[in-house]
């Protein structure tokens, strides 16, 4: 069995503490981690470029069509937003493979990541709901973005 590094053990403890805390403070902590991760990997800058490329879009269905043509995700329209299906067979977070417990809390971090990304893309604050998650026993990661 591979020995975990100190950082992975610390992150597992932090995620466990966030789970124990529950509520808005824990959600805020995880959401901020996701937002900072997106910034650190230049995803927010790339999203701004994507937003500029979508300037011709006038309706939610225009955005859905644009995103399906531009990205390797499946996007469908919902009455109050869009549904994003990532079409992955494993979690794409690099930390997930390092953790043996509490990995499902990374989904809250991902929620914050996606909230930051889609808020920039749509030019306004959005809410993100985790519909399905691989780390929580699902077959894919599916999010609903309330626009």
Domain ranges of the chain: 6-146
State pTM to two decimals. Answer: 0.89
Q: Alpha-carbon distance 109 to 32, whole Å?
A: 7
pLDDT above 70: residue 2: no
Q: Three-state DSSP class for 98?
A: helix
CATH match for 6-146 among 1.20.1250, 3.30.1380, 3.40.50, 3.30.160: 3.30.1380
User: For residue range 7-33, what is the model confidence (pLDDT) as tens digits?
Assistant: 888 989 989 998 898 888 888 889 999
The one-character DSSP state at 105 is G
């Amino acid at each position: 069995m591979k020995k975990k590094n100190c950082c992975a053990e610390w992150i597992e403890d932090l995620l466990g503490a966030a789970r124990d805390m529950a509520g808005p403070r824990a959600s805020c902590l995880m959401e901020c981690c996701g937002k900072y991760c997106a910034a650190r990997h230049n995803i927010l800058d790339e999203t701004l470029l994507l937003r500029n490329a979508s300037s011709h879009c006038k309706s939610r269905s225009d955005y859905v069509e644009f995103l399906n043509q531009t990205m390797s995700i499946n996007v469908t329209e919902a009455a109050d937003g869009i549904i994003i299906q990532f079409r992955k067979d494993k979690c794409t977070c690099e930390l997930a493979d390092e953790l043996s417990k509490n990995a499902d809390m990374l989904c809250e971090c991902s929620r914050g990541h996606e909230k930051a990304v889609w808020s920039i893309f749509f030019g306004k604050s959005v809410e993100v709901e985790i519909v399905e998650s691989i780390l929580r026993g699902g077959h894919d990661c599916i999010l609903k973005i309330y626009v």
